[in-house]
A = this chain, B = another copy of it.
């Protein structure tokens, strides 16, 4: 199988991740739930993994890092953790994933909030000037922004968006599912108050671990409640800046895998490699007549992910042929991104064919894909 669906989950993971998980599996007990040595060791591995995450976003050792079973759960904890006031304006980029979009939509059924999509220009990039004007008219209370689109690979100008929002006191939430570990995320410069992350995508960790970094130590209502192994007689969640949001047993096996992934993560090399592959892919596809490329035209503003639409065939059908006749795994459809397709104008083709590369792909993989697409159209 030629795997070009790395935006769904990176595959394979580094061998060290598999090894660390298997080793942990054979010694994993419940962290922080017992007073014995092995339970303490589990807690140390958790702390060490969190410190790697802090280093990656350039924040100090005191910044709370909350582990959740997935970035979806983390984003639910965040979105549902705020106390929204009537008529507050919630800005979202049109590139949001359903982990944000559906969750805010769900919140809007219970609270009188206004969900506002940020404006795009003709290149389908955020129109910063128009956005500034929007902000001045309708003050942003919250801004949710994905860092890299999981449909087109577009790198959103989150620093510009967030810093502009801060002029109005907005709370800024960054979704790094497709960016952390691939492109720099500097919490000192980017203006994000909370950064959500996924373990199993650009960080090359396993399923079962994600979370959020609470840069500005914002107090959220605990969304998921349960046992924390501490203060058990208290029916309220503990007040600790991490424990408050960490009910249930920690998934030690997934954390060990993420730990191993973070230890060997070489962001600069991966970025260089993915940029080269992305450009190679874009150039190859753009020479095939009957295909429409859906990614930013400015190559500095894209990486890793490219969507295409074929004139001759629905995207789902294209995906099936790529799989069955060429053994190439891509993803087709709408990619859990509800807003952007009205801009991409791809609904007559049932969404896009998404090609997403990872550190283990080669130009040969891209060659095979291009050859197959050329035969398809």
Tell me the A residues contacting B by CB distance below 8 Å: 1, 3, 5, 8-9, 11-13, 17-18, 21-22, 25-26, 28-30, 33-39, 69-73, 75-76, 97-99, 101-103, 105-106, 200, 206-208, 222-229, 232-237, 247-254, 316, 319-320, 322-324, 328-338, 341, 347, 351
Contacts and interface: CB of A to CB of B under 8 A. Distances in A.
A73 B75 CA distance: 14
B9 A249 contact: yes
A13 B333 CA distance: 39
From A208, A236, A252, residue with most partner B Cβ within 10 Å: A208
22 contacts: A1-B37, A35-B319, A36-B319, A37-B323, A69-B69, A69-B70, A70-B248, A72-B224, A72-B227, A72-B247, A73-B224, A76-B225, A76-B226, A98-B226, A99-B227, A102-B226, A102-B227, A102-B237, A206-B253, A207-B252, A207-B253, A251-B254
A333 B237 CA distance: 17
Nearest to A225: B102
The dominant DSSP class at the A interface is loop
Copy count, this protein chain: 2
Contact of A228 (B17, B248, B336): B336
A1 B36 contact: yes
B102 A36 contact: no
A69 B209 CA distance: 10
B227 A98 contact: yes
Contact of A338 (B3, B25, B235, B319): B235
Contacts of A13: 25
